[in-house]
Amino acid sequence: MGDDFFNNKDLKTDYLTGLYTRDVIVDYAKHLIEKGTEFSLALVDIDNFKNVNDNYGHTVGDHVISFLANRLKDSFGNRGAVGRFGGDEFMVVIPNITEYDAVWSLLREVHKTIDGVTPPDYKTLYLTCTFGLSRCPTDANNYDALFELTDKALYRGKIKGRNCFIIYLESKHKNIQLHSADDTTISSMQMHTQVFKFLNSAPHLADGIKDLLLFLGSNLMIDHIGIQTKDGLYFSQIHTLSNTEEFESITNTFFMDNVSPSMGVYYLNDVTHLENIGQKELHEVCLKQGIKSSLYAIIRYNDKIFGYIRADSTSTARIWQYKDMDLLITAANAIAMSLHYQNKTFKEL
């Protein structure tokens, strides 16, 4: 990058990725501020990385971080310095590129190189990232303020659905409130409480399940949510924005063997990826119904499987967020308990 910051210095690099460490990349940003050099500051977060660790283990998680680190470094090239900010998050300092259209073009180019990539040794993984960026001095002229605005842009990208890039604009993002871990926990607790409330307060279990699915579909912005069993599709709730007006039953054997034993869930961020992993039949069924992404949460009590909560997206491929999956898994477990204690099946409701 031709900056004297990198000349004649023994700069620390991260042991796993070979990228600059957090201290180095932050010091570089502060160095540019002191010099009066215009630059853009980006944060890059691996989407749903916790699921990789949970389903594949930390060794594979480390491989994913290293793989994406190399992708980012190669994609930015000499246009930006990439560092590992911590965990599954990277920081990029991009000197002399701050004009909005130029930044947008660069981010679009880089984002396309890591949109839905799979590491060579792990073909079943589908990896995406979310970017947040702000500009100095356009948005702020000190590091702490600039970092906060970058973090707001990243947060906006996450709540928008992930797998995107957001450039901070004061007119759009100034009033974004970054939620603390406590705020997120409280909100999650309230949502989980609602799950049991719907099932316990309805006069009939069928009514409770219908109301619960309507609640989940509305709050999580799911185009279609229903109960998939070997006998058919029950309690379908279709969002008004869905591109498909009627959904059909999907044969359980197409997906049931892929449900994670530990989490009780199988999700597809992008159904086009099914062809790459040899699931042609499920891919064709999804295409027929206009399904772009799906999630199946197993409804199971002990060893008895009643069916699956099935959630479909028809507008775009959806990055299923961990907190959303957690809520759907809780709902599936709660429904299973209710069916068990009432000695019912879905066909009998």
Q: Which residue intervals of the chain bear CATH 3.30.450.40?
A: 181-348
Give the bridge partners for 83, in sequence order: 20, 91
Distance CA 43, CA 93 (A): 9
Whether the pLDDT of residue 183 is over 80: the answer is no
Max intra-chain CA distance, the chain: 76
Whether the pLDDT of residue 180 is over 70: the answer is no
Are 335 and 344 spatial neighbours (Cβ–Cβ below 8 Å)?
Answer: no
Homologous superfamily assigned to 181-348? GAF domain (3.30.450.40)
Instruction: Give the CA angle between residues 308, 228, 215 to the nearest 5°.
Output: 75
Confidence (pLDDT) at 261: 79
Mind listing the pLDDT tens digit for each residue in 111-137? 999 988 888 888 778 888 999 999 999
What is the model's pTM? Answer: 0.60
Relative to beta strand 89-95, strand 81-86 is antiparallel
Whether the pLDDT of residue 322 is over 80: the answer is no
Are 320 and 269 spatial neighbours (Cβ–Cβ below 8 Å)?
Answer: yes
- The H-assigned helical ranges of the chain are 22-35, 49-56, 58-76, 100-113, 143-160, 170-173, 181-201, 205-219, 280-288, 322-342
Mind listing the pLDDT tens digit for each residue in 217-243? 888 889 999 999 999 999 999 988 788
What is the percentage of the chain residues whose pLDDT exceeds 70?
Answer: 96
Are 313 and 222 spatial neighbours (Cβ–Cβ below 8 Å)?
Answer: yes
Q: Which residue intervals of the chain bear CATH 3.30.70.270?
A: 4-173
Compute the mean pLDDT over every residue in the chain, rounded to the nearest whole number. Answer: 89
Give which of 244, 245, 234, 246 is closest to 308, Cα–Cα.
234
- Which CATH architecture best describes the domain 4-173? 2-Layer Sandwich (3.30)
Mind listing the pLDDT tens digit for each residue in 64-102? 999 999 999 999 999 999 999 988 999 999 999 999 999
Q: What share of the chain is helix, strand, coil (3-state, %, to 5)?
A: 45, 20, 30
Distance CA 157, CA 175 (A): 15
Distance CA 298, CA 305 (A): 7
Are 337 and 301 spatial neighbours (Cβ–Cβ below 8 Å)?
Answer: yes
Mind listing the pLDDT tens digit for each residue in 231-280? 999 999 998 878 899 999 999 888 888 888 778 899 888 888 887 777 88
